[in-house]
Amino acid sequence: MSAIIRVNNLSKQFNEIAAVTDLSFTVNEGDVYGFLGQNGAGKSTTIRMLLTLVRPSSGSIHVFGKDLFTHRAEILKQVGAVIEKPDLYKYLSAYDNLSLFAKMSGLQVSRTLLMDQLKQVGLEERAFSKVKTFSQGMKQRLGIAVALVHNPRLIVLDEPTNGLDPQGIADIRNLVLKLSREMGKTILVSSHLLSEIELVATRMLIIDKGKKMVEGSVAELLDPSKTVVQLETTDNKETKEKLKQSKWSGFLQPDHGAVQLKMNKDEVPALVNDLVNMQVQLLSVNSTHSLEDYFLSLTTRPGHVEAFTN
């Protein structure tokens, strides 16, 4: 499997503010690479650097094995992108917008090709309507048509579901899966919602404050063994003592006040059974996946980071 994107020690400084710091990651051919982070974490800046919109302060980006800034045109011919909102020329029709950007991608455009593309995103009937009359979802679909019209090898989708209704979100998800599975495209998709990424991505990276937090395959990161179980009992202190002396002592997490265990989700029934046998009075059992827990913690409890990254 060859690396489609290889980013090494990438940094971007806007005056005094470090938007991205020493970021390195690799996207392999065929990956649906999830780029996860809160708003302002540095996702967009990184994506803009990948599309040559923003010049890195330091570090290197190689795409298709070539340096992005020295082989810019050659590389960008094979890249399609939707960057944040799908902003297009409102005073032009869908067809004109598509035709214009297809030409800019170096494509010999034909009416058949453009109409086919519009058909694929369900806009063939509105092909000659001005974009200013379009709904957000229609604009998004047109934006995707623009990104795909030149049949790129790499597709970059920056927050593609922003502002869409649930049906629109589902449509985008299905499209990403189709592009990846049926057409073998490599896709980089960014989002601030883990739930979105986990449904489509094969690999993912979590970025916070411009720094890489985690990178790995989704299967590995969402491993069920990394479930955090939180117990609420009538006497938490006593429960902890009892657990320390049981076979569960290895799963017990450092003290957070509540009783927490990091374990495989499958073993939760056995744990509950044992607790009953130990005569612990259970008030509630709450299990969350540690990645989700961790991701939420990025904004709320920075101190919790080590719990996952270790």
Partner 1 sequence: MWKLLQIELYKIFKKPRTYIAFGAIAAIILLIQMALLVNGKEYLQFGLGFLDDSFEIPYDRISNGYWICFVILNLLLIHVPILVALVAGDIVSGEANMGTLRLMVSKPVSRTELVLAKFLASVIYVIALLAWMALIALALSMLLFGTGDVVVAKSMELHQIEQSDVLWRYFAAFGFAALALIMVASLSLLLSCLSDNSIGPIVATVCIIIVCTLISEMQIPLYDKYLKPYLFTTYMLGWKGFFYIAVDADGQTIRGSVQNLPAILKSMGVILIYIAGFVTTAVLVFRKKDILS
Instruction: Name which of 81 and 204 has its Cβ closer to partner 1.
Output: 81
User: Contacting partner 1 (CB under 8 A), which of 46, 105, 233, 290?
Assistant: 105
Residue pair 22/211 in contact (Cβ under 8 Å)? The answer is: yes
Instruction: Name which of 81 and 94 has its Cβ closer to partner 1.
Output: 81
Identify the CA nearest to 49 among candidates 74, 21, 77.
Answer: 21
Min CB(3)–partner 1 separation in Å? 21
Does 188 bind partner 1 (CB under 8 A)? Our answer is no
In 62-193, alpha helices (H): 72-76, 94-104, 111-120, 136-148, 166-181
Instruction: Name which of 140 and 260 has its Cβ closer to partner 1.
Output: 140
CA angle at 174 for the pair 220 and 73, rounded to the nearest 5°: 85
Min CB(85)–partner 1 separation in Å? 6
User: Contacting partner 1 (CB under 8 A), which of 32, 41, 75, 263?
Assistant: 75
Does 77 bind partner 1 (CB under 8 A)? Our answer is yes
3-class SS at 62? strand
Does 96 bind partner 1 (CB under 8 A)? Our answer is yes
Phi, psi at 285, each rounded to 5°: -125, 125
Residue pair 134/142 in contact (Cβ under 8 Å)? The answer is: yes
Does 191 bind partner 1 (CB under 8 A)? Our answer is no
128-167 residues near partner 1, rule: CB under 8 A: 146
User: Contacting partner 1 (CB under 8 A), which of 65, 66, 104, 256?
Assistant: 104
Does 76 bind partner 1 (CB under 8 A)? Our answer is yes
User: Contacting partner 1 (CB under 8 A), which of 74, 125, 220, 235?
Assistant: 74
Min CB(77)–partner 1 separation in Å? 4
Does 17 bind partner 1 (CB under 8 A)? Our answer is no
285 bridge partner residues:
231
Identify the CA nearest to 296 among candidates 219, 201, 195.
Answer: 195
53-72 residues near partner 1, rule: CB under 8 A: 53-55, 72
Gap between the Cα atoms of 47 and 53, Å rounded: 9
CA distances from 99 to 110, 133, 188 (A): 8, 18, 24
Does 81 bind partner 1 (CB under 8 A)? Our answer is yes
Segment lying near partner 1 (by CB under 8 A), choices 99-107, 196-204, 206-214, 291-299:
99-107
Gap between the Cα atoms of 9 and 58, Å rounded: 7
Does 87 bind partner 1 (CB under 8 A)? Our answer is yes
Helix 166-181 vs helix 136-148: crossing angle, to nearest 10 = 10
Query: Which is it for the CA torsion 167, 170, 136, 35, positive or negative?
Result: positive
Interface residues with partner 1 (CB under 8 A) are 14, 48, 51-55, 72-77, 79, 81, 83-85, 87-92, 96, 100-101, 103-106, 146
